[in-house]
Amino acid sequence: MTPVSVIAPAKLNLFLHINNKRADGYHELETLFTFLDFGDELTFTLKNENNITLCGDTNDIPNEDNLIYKAALALQPYKKVSLGVNIKLIKKLPMGGGVGGGSSDAATTLLTLNKLWQCQLSIAELAKIGIQLGADVPVFVHGKTAVAQGIGEKLAPAELPKKWYCVVFPNVHISTAEIFTHPDLPRNTPKLSEGWKLAETRNDCEALVKKLNSEVEKTLLWLLKYGPSRMTGTGACCFVELDSQIAAQRVLNSLPSYWQGFVAPNTTNSPAHTQLDEWVK
């Protein structure tokens, strides 16, 4: 059975505003997601044994805690074929980096197995399954640059010019749960009007993460030499937006050896969607 390899792309939060905390513990937020043409690689191979196996760069996370496995398991009741699957992960996105690695892996699993297992679920139905796996998963399922509201489930498409990004991971891991439960996190940013400008936005998590982790602050200060820098999500990855691949590569080439990074352009449509659409053709 022919293996199918699909990119699980990185995302950047170009801004992230926390509007308030709900009674159920979730936060109301507004954020602008864009996808990058770079990410983890997932290879799916159907097999006659009717089970799910996972291999590769899983970091020894037990299957019951792995979002890839959980996504495949969630689709099992809908499949129209009596075939199992082996999924191999090649990890390129840092864990705990704020670029959506786990959520993207889960969404790519849902999208790919929906086709391989002939589940015939709509994007809306897949997103509904995705929200049970994580708040960011529906964004990757929909696969369009968007402004997200609510807890991340209300999406409005957004058009952005093509830019190149140098994304830097300062080799520290940030706990999303720790940031969102911290008493010093701002939780009262007013909701945006329709005429918002990116320069008038910010990441509400950034000041707190810098206070808790000096390495993130150092990264943001270092990137300022090349342009306005910002942290994505709850960190730890930081980025600078540039007009060309050459300019972005120049930043990456100057990166201190104790940090990691990559260069990629943004893309309106998720590379996972693009690849799967081409494969179906």
Q: Which residues are annotated as a binding site for ATP?
A: 94-104
Asked if residues 152 and 136 have their Cβ atoms less than 8 Å apart, the reply is: yes
Tokens, residue 196: 């918002």
Tokens, residue 95: 């864990």
Distance, in Å, from the CA atom of 158 to the CA atom of 257, rounded to the nearest integer, reads: 36
Half-sphere exposure of 126 (CA within 13 A, CB side): 26
Q: For 35, left (φ over 0), alpha (ψ -120 to 50), or beta?
A: beta
Distance, in Å, from the CA atom of 226 to the CA atom of 74, rounded to the nearest integer, reads: 44
Distance, in Å, from the CA atom of 157 to the CA atom of 142, rounded to the nearest integer, reads: 10
What pairs with residue 89 in β-bridges? Answer: 42, 56
Tokens, residue 182: 């911290």
Asked if residues 108 and 7 have their Cβ atoms less than 8 Å apart, the reply is: yes
Tokens, residue 135: 């708040």
Binding site, annotated residues: 94-104
Give the list of residues 6+ apart from residue 273 with CB closer than 8 angstroms, or none: 111, 143
Question: Which residue in 11, 40, 79, 105 is the catalytic one?
Answer: 11
Question: Which residue in 40, 105, 136, 204 is the catalytic one?
Answer: 136
136 is catalytic: yes
Distance, in Å, from the CA atom of 278 to the CA atom of 25, rounded to the nearest integer, reads: 41
Asked if residues 142 and 125 have their Cβ atoms less than 8 Å apart, the reply is: no
21 is catalytic: no
- Residues annotated as catalytic (active site), given as ranges: 11, 136
